[in-house]
Chains A and B, each alone.
Chain A
Amino acid sequence: MRLGKFVERFIGLIPVLFGVSVIVFLMITLTPGDPVEIMLGDARSSPEQEAALRRDMGLDRPIHERFFLFIANALRGEFGLSFFHRRPVIDVIGERLPATIELTLVALVVALAIAIPLGVIAAVKRNSWLDRVATVGSLFGVSMPGFWFGILLILLFSVKLGWFPVSGRIGFSAEVRSVTGLLLIDTLIAGRLDSFWQALRHISLPALTLALPMAAVLMRVTRSSMIEVLRADYVLFAEAKGLAKARVIGLHALKNALIPTVTVAALETGSLLGGNMIVETVFGWPGLGRLVVEAIFSRNYPLVQAAVLLYAVTYVLLNFLADLIYTWLNPKVRL
């Protein structure tokens, strides 16, 4: 894509991000209940103290001023104090974010690792029993509620077989110094293979749960695009030249068949963000998703506001990335 187009598309994101901020601001501002009372909780306070807090939080200003204050603060990463933690929201989120990023990345890898081979096999062996099994499997994948699948995995692999831990990210004894915040990488940096193994066992079931619906969608996409590519002239030509079938599929066909898969994967990564809340709740995963769910029940609105905004901005940027990837892989497409 030409730089001009890229810049144009990027500028096009601004009204969307602005609109998203308006909605997030209104979501919390229109919520019934006085934030000052929630923040003070049962603590005794004089009316003067309450008024001072209200002034500090900007609640005495008109709504449009509060909105622009919210935007200005958000751009600086300031979302106020978390009611519950009594610390800046951004710090609390920062602590939990790596766990969510790690889970999302591993789920993405798992989804691709399941979807691509199955999709290719289903396409190559079209209408065989393998194809049917893969198709039924993908139907299960899109129909299975994530929270229930997670519970089934815990029941089978943790409770009955004892292969995987029920919850958490790593055992106390295996903890290592945080460098990236991603335990699978930090444990390797620390040279602790035992800790890496523990972290891997902890993340396996949550990542599989999160990956399942995505794998189902990606499998279908890979299958149908592979079927189309296998019919293309250049593939038939490669076969006619006498190239081995595995080489034709692996080298010539797969490269082009994966274009839609990669694009949909980038789009679906955004949907993993929502799935995180469920999966982290089921597996007691100490990430952002679980933090938000907890924050809703403790009416910790600054945290909910910041997290929803963060999710939405990430989602918009991921969709933008998906567009770029699609255009980059498909020179024919003009955005």
Chain B
Amino acid sequence: MSGAVAMNAGVQSPLALGWLRLKQNPMAIGAAMVTLLIVAAAVLAPIIAPQDPNEADLFRRLQPPVWLGGEWAFPLGCDALGRDILSRLIYGARISILVGALVVLIASVVGILAGLAAGYLGGWVDRVITGLVDILLGFPYLIFAIGLMAMMGAGFQNIVLALVYKEWVVPCRIVRGETLAAREQEYVEAARALGASRGHVMLREILPNILSPVIVVATVRMAHVIILEASLSFLGLGVQPPTASWGSMVSEGREFLLDAWWVSTFPGIAILVLVMAINVFSQGLRDAFDPRMQE
């Protein structure tokens, strides 16, 4: 911790102190900027993508990147159907980011509510929720998602659902544990003594105090979910063609490894860069906001 942070420690709120620590971590800020850049590219895809991502032209089949003799209009080359790889990468970012964000968001809401209910209400509510959590933990994540996708069929909505069905368990366990501890704290007892309803105590008193570990874990989980989505797409269980997704782009390029390495390589780099940036940022968040969770 720097001197400035230490000096301010006595007067600043934990939140402000966390922000101050985060801002002084150049790696985390850099990683956040990379992530934002990819998000911006995904949002602005129709404006910045040089070509239509689904426009095929067999005359451009497996055209190499510009530095290997390709043309500037298709800087990263073309795939087996002659589609522009850069444009497909930019559009593919939409799938990765949207799936990652939606899954983590929905799972966090469900997990927080379930965790609060289990931890605060106890009794049969706790037993049912904990039982369900234990059962879902009995499945390896990818196998559970693959099983569900086999049942529901491929597609964007089904990916989100298949991942949410298991993902909510993670925030639920954290929130349950934190709620159990918070339940005995004085501020909760005080609220109860003042006649606050159970809903008020859970959502207004306990939740704001236990949110930081949930947010920190949510960012790490987002990186994990993005890899899972890419894995499902790679296996052909993700969004369906011709929609571009990074996982399916890597898969499509496998057949042409010998002649056209660029088809698989660029989407792979894209996944790696996004996931790494989110991981580094979440490490920074953890160091800044939740010192208990540091190594």
Contact = CB atoms under 8 A, between A and B. Distances in A.
Interface of A: 15-17, 19-20, 22-24, 27-28, 30-32, 139-140, 142-148, 151-152, 154-155, 159, 220, 223-224, 227, 270-271, 273-275, 277-278, 281-282, 292-293, 296-297, 301, 304, 308, 311-312, 315-316, 319
Contacts of B143: 273-274, 277, 292, 308, 311-312
A312 B151 CA distance: 17
Interface string B215-242: 0000000010001001100111100000
Q: Is the interface of B mostly helix, strand, loop or mixed?
A: helix
Q: Which of A19, A275, A319 has the most CB of B within 10 A?
A: A19
Interface stretch (B116-124, B167-175, B250-258): B250-258
B139 A144 contact: no
18 contacts: A17-B138, A19-B138, A20-B135, A28-B151, A144-B272, A145-B275, A147-B247, A148-B272, A154-B257, A273-B143, A274-B140, A292-B143, A301-B150, A308-B143, A308-B146, A311-B140, A312-B139, A319-B138
A93 B291 CA distance: 47
B295 A224 contact: yes
Interface in B122-142: 131-132, 134-135, 137-142
Q: Which of B235, B258, B279 has the most CB of A within 10 A?
A: B235
A50 B3 CA distance: 79
A151 B150 contact: no
Contact of A148 (B140, B147, B268): B268
B235 A281 contact: yes
Q: Is the interface of A mostly helix, strand, loop or mixed?
A: helix
A145 B271 contact: yes
Contacts of B41: none
A215 to B, nearest CB: 16
B155 to A, nearest CB: 13
Given A24-B147, A296-B149, A312-B143, 11 more contacts: A19-B138, A23-B139, A30-B151, A31-B150, A143-B275, A145-B268, A277-B142, A277-B146, A277-B235, A278-B234, A308-B146
Contact of A19 (B134, B147, B149, B231): B134
B276 interface: yes
Minimum-distance CB pairs A-B, first 10: A274-B142, A19-B135, A148-B268, A143-B276, A274-B140, A224-B295, A143-B275, A296-B150, A31-B151, A20-B138
Contact of B139 (A143, A148, A278, A315): A315
Interface residues of B, number: 46
A93 B247 CA distance: 28
B250 A16 contact: no
B108 interface: no
B138 A296 contact: no
Contacts of A304: 147, 150
Nearest to B237: A296
Contacts of B227: 143, 145
A102 to B, nearest CB: 18
A93 to B, nearest CB: 14
Contacts of B135: 15-16, 19-20, 22-23
Contacts of A281: 234-235
Interface string B258-278: 100100110110011001100
Contact of B279 (A32, A142, A152, A277): A142
Contacts of A271: 140-141
Q: Which of B142, B257, B272 has the most CB of A within 10 A?
A: B142
A144 to B, nearest CB: 6
Contact of A274 (B134, B141, B251, B264): B141
Nearest to B279: A143
Contacts of A27: 147-148, 150-151
B140 A146 contact: no
Contacts of B237: 296
